[in-house]
Amino acid sequence: MSNTPASILFSVLGIVASGLCGGLAGWSVISLLGWSGVGGALAAAVIGVVVATGAWIGLTSLLRALRLLK
């Protein structure tokens, strides 16, 4: 991927979207379990990172399969 302004913008948007998915997933799981405090925050962070990474990988794979990304 090149370093054109459009490329950088789309990368930033993808990172924000993936992070949003991860953050919402982490918060939702911890809220459903009723956890709070430091343990809940750490668990939410771990869940969020795992989901955000999966979302980034999935989105990248989908865009490559559709040949919208090299």
Of 16 and 8, which is predicted with more confidence? 16
Overall domain count for the chain: 1
User: pLDDT exceeding 90 applies to what percent of the chain?
Assistant: 74
Task: Give the model confidence (pLDDT) of 16-29 as tens digits.
Answer: 999 999 999 999 99
* Residue 1 reports pLDDT greater than 60: no
Decide if 20 is inside a domain: yes
Q: Look up residue 2 and give its DSSP letter.
A: -
Question: What domain range is 56 assigned to?
Answer: 8-65
In this prediction, residue 7 carries a pLDDT of: 83
- Residue 5 structure tokens: 């302004």
- Rounded CA-CA distance 19/45 in Å is 11
33 assigned to some structural domain: yes
Q: Is 41 within the bounds of a domain?
A: yes
Beta carbons within 10 angstroms of residue 33's beta carbon? 11
Encoded amino acid at 18, one letter = S
